[in-house]
Amino acid sequence: MKLGHLFAVPLAELRMDEPADLSRELTSLFLAKEAAGETFRNELRRDTQQGLFESRFDLFQWPEPPVKRLTAFCHRAVASVLRSVSDYSDAEFGALRFDYHAWFHVTRRGGYQGLHNHPNATWSGIYCVDPGDELPDRPQSGAVRFHDPRGFADQYIDAGNERLNLTLRHGSYQIRHEAGKLLVFPSYLAHEIFPYEGERPRIVVAFNCWVRRDDRTGNSR
């Protein structure tokens, strides 16, 4: 038997080595920007968001050293994921250029983000700076849940499909953020953030990426 995985959805988990110092520096920086009020807040208000601060989308252009370190890590991760799932030659891959929008979220108690995806991009990512308080009795607090993009995959469920392996199953997949963990996924993949119930701020960085062949113009890495 030849078994393939048709319409597979890649989801990569990567980890920053020893993230504690970076998390501390980014937390201090982002909370200071939040305290500045509207100066660094994204002007666009989203119906899917409640109880969180969203920065402008130019984060990866900031000059602060901890932001530069995070930017480099996220770019290496996206490039690694793309390289692993594509069939570009070395020369073709070397001619690709990556452009980003990136921002941070500070979520306070009760904050959440409803179901959404990230249109007009190829890849998206979420990096956890600080997951906030761990609440063992409330495991959904601040968790991210990804949803199956195959609209009819769960139209009928019985013993023949309710226990499929992870790469084949349908429904949703939930992940608890951890400091230093980066999730990279296709931008079309719908996801939501459950209400955060802790006291310490929950802080993440998110980004969108689009990829082009080198035309020697524009902002690229």
**The listed CATH number (3.20.10.10, 2.40.40.20, 1.10.645.10, 2.60.120.620) that belongs to domain 12-150+170-213:** 2.60.120.620
The pLDDT score that the predictor gives to residue 89 is 95
Average pLDDT of the residues in 92-109 = 96
Kindly tell me if the per-residue pLDDT of 25 is higher than 60: yes
> For the chain, which residues make up each domain, given as ranges?
12-150+170-213
For all residues of the chain together, what is the average pLDDT?
94
pLDDT tens per residue across span 130-184: 999 999 999 899 999 999 999 898 899 999 999 999 889 899 999 999 999 999 9
Amino acid present at 74 = C
Output the pTM of the full model.
0.92
